[in-house]
Structure 1
Amino acid sequence: MNLKLKKKLLIFTTIIIAIFLVNKIYISLKDKVNSNMITKLTGQIYYTKRVDGILNLYKFDTNSQKEQLVYSHKGRGKLKDGDYNDNINDFCYDIKSGDIKFAAMNNGDWSLFSIKKGDKDAKYVSKLGLESSNQLTMIDTDYIKNEVANVKVIKKKGSIYIEKDGQEKCLIKFNGLYDEKFTGYSPIGFSSNGKYFVYLSMGHLTPIGTFIEGIIKGNVGKTYIMDMETGKSARFIDCQRIQWVMN
């Protein structure tokens, strides 16, 4: 490799690292803005979160402002080949009974389990008879959805728009290099009362930034909650499959 090529490679690498670090600092500062908004939330927010490579079920109590582990399937998701898949793939909270039903692996089969409020152990209910986790869709969309009170949320090229009475308005604008998998914003849904909107940000302006973070951290994407009245957003716990229960 000649000297000129080495210099070009060094400059390119330096630029990439600089972009990554500047974006990282910007996101870090942004995450601290409006953090007090989380203290004003109401209800119980249930979600799955990956810890040590496993998706566990958690609850965020808005009164105590504390995260609580509801259930971990660790060591119970045995596959037919002897390996393990301990992920909780999907779940549904029953407001009337307080029970939570969730899908997880049991002896090589996707199965339905149930756990009562306050219990630590889950009860096996039945085999789901599904070949792929992509077929698991049990979430009750009354808890969180992309349309409420005639207001619909739409994603376009990394930006999020709301549609009301046939009119579109940009809610969150993405100004980076858009890639469907690595950059931009994605809607998760409105709270049942329509006052809050939950969305996912990949946290980087370029795909390479997300790619680098994925290699370093093992996961990407940040969860935010927006107050629809003020338009301000606050960083929430990074999670998946949210159900926001407002009794």
Structure 2
Amino acid sequence: MTGLSTRGLWVAVAVLAVVFLGAVWAAGSGPSAGPATATGSVRLGPEPGQDVAGYLASLPAQLPPPGPAVPALVQLARPLSTTGAAAAAAGTQVRTAVFRVPLERVQTALRFEQVTGTGDPAAALGVALGRAAFTADADAGRAARDAAGAATPQARAAFERRAAVAAAEHRALTGPDCACVIALVVTADRAGLDAVAARDAVRAVQAAPPGTTVGELALSPLLPGQTVTASPPPDDGPVP
């Protein structure tokens, strides 16, 4: 028999699909590609391009009934320090912190870090901040190596910008009292979520359905600067 068998054809197709998806991920990763999403099966956060006012208006109906504790995405009105974020989430168990360095007209990465420990919440967030800074430094080094091996001037310039953005993020994340927490995943009951939602620093609280685990969440928090639609921010400004 000439050619591939039916089984062989399916294997070849599967391999090509994996390669293609890996290439798409690599092309879209990095600070210049816009905010990332922590993947899972239960989405918390607006859909891409969604009307912000409509999204915010839909959230109260998603709060749980009194009783069960559920995961919820706490979206902040402005970037906060770890101390400020801990205060905004007081009375809940903080499970994940979302860090983003705000740079004018520059797309920077969303960095999702697990928050562990049952002691001082601000200290636990500080540990998560350190991990985010380490990742930013690694991203800068990787982009610099990619720039050195780039095949074209355009590719080199793109990688050099990624390296510069990640380096700027690392400097901010390791600076004193970085105001770079934009969202938190917390676990709390209805009373706890109502208390968090009422705080001045909190823009919105979106609860997951009862029975959802933190590991099932797909996170795409609303950025503080997104006021009309949940569209990617501009990326045409100079990198400091």
TM-score by length of 1: 0.24
Structure with the larger helix share: 2
Question: Highest relative contact order (Cα 8 Å, sep 6+), 1 or 2?
Answer: 2
TM-score by length of 2: 0.25
